[in-house]
Homo-oligomer: A and B are copies of this chain.
Amino acid sequence: MNLALPFTYKEFVLLHPLSIEGICKEIYQDNRNSIKIKKEELAIKNLTKIMKTVIKISHKQGFHAMSLRDLSRESELSMGALYNYFSSKEEFLNMMYIQGQALINKIMQESIRAGQNSSERLLRGICTHLYLSESISKIFYFFYMEAKSLKPEDQKKAITMEQFTENVFEELLKDGIQNGEFEIPYPLLTASAIKALLQDWYLKRYKYSERKISVEEYANFLIRFVYQNIENTNSKELK
């Protein structure tokens, strides 16, 4: 079976120039009502600055521990100015979360659909997730850590990225079993394992960085690690 990566990280980034700015643009356009600043360009510029600062400060001790005074100082916007962009600290977290997840899920779905068969779709799914989390690793980390900081009502609305990822891979594996491409003793646990190994890449970013392991190296490792457990040996022999 051909386990070559379907695309490189560079190719992916060129195709999906994903950025915090991009997410903030969507946040602005979906929240024109509640955001008091009417000049789009300025609003997006400041939203981006706020979001980057939130992620930076929260990284250390979590969103709850970040005070708006911290945020005001580091984002170089006054307390008053901040409140033109959101109506409460909590609401801002919610906006970031909803908008960011929607964008990520969309890219994942599109990329996987482009695969011709289950095996190709699995390779694309793994690569896309890794490359996405590489290009905006701070956001992935933030979402993972702060999911439980959402209000309970919003928590239910937002299917976590977590569960979404796992479901995508579970369906993918089951399709592959049905059409004979894969042979998997525990598809559910296997999907869960893939998800855990994808998460490790962005949750432990510093570790892999220290060890100078590139995202493509990790992708290759992960694909081989998984394929040892899902390859249909009959279909391999036929080739």
Residues of A within 8 A of B (CB): 60-62, 64-65, 145, 148-149, 185-186, 188-190, 192-193, 196-197, 199-200, 204, 207, 211, 213, 218, 221-222, 224-225, 228-229
Contact A197 B188 (CB under 8 A): no
Which residues from B are CB-within-8-Å of A62?
A: 62, 64, 148-149
Which residues from B are CB-within-8-Å of A224?
A: 185, 229
Which residues from B are CB-within-8-Å of A188?
A: 211
The minimal Cβ–Cβ distance linking A217 to chain B, given in whole angstroms, is: 8
Contact A148 B225 (CB under 8 A): no
Which residues from B are CB-within-8-Å of A213?
A: 189
Main secondary structure of the interface of A (DSSP, over half): helix
Q: Which of B61, B65, B200, B228 is A196 in contact with, Cβ under 8 Å? A: B200
Contact A221 B186 (CB under 8 A): yes
Q: Which of B60, B193, B196 is A148 in contact with, Cβ under 8 Å? A: B60
Given contacts A211-B188, A225-B229, A229-B225, contact A149 B61 (CB under 8 A): yes
Which residues from B are CB-within-8-Å of A186?
A: 221
The minimal Cβ–Cβ distance linking A37 to chain B, given in whole angstroms, is: 30
A102 to B173, CA, bound (A): 40
Which residues from B are CB-within-8-Å of A197?
A: 193, 196-197
Q: Which residue of B lies closest to A199 (CB)?
A: B196
A60 to B151, CA, bound (A): 11
Which residues from B are CB-within-8-Å of A148?
A: 60-62
Q: Which of B145, B193, B199, B204 is A225 in contact with, Cβ under 8 Å? A: B193
A212 to B199, CA, bound (A): 23
The minimal Cβ–Cβ distance linking A225 to chain B, given in whole angstroms, is: 6
The minimal Cβ–Cβ distance linking A234 to chain B, given in whole angstroms, is: 17
**What would be 9 A-B contacts, judged by CB atoms less than 8 Å apart?**
A61-B148, A145-B145, A186-B221, A193-B197, A193-B225, A196-B200, A224-B229, A225-B229, A228-B229
A61 to B196, CA, bound (A): 22
Which residues from B are CB-within-8-Å of A221?
A: 186, 189
Which residues from B are CB-within-8-Å of A229?
A: 224-225, 228
A188 to B148, CA, bound (A): 32
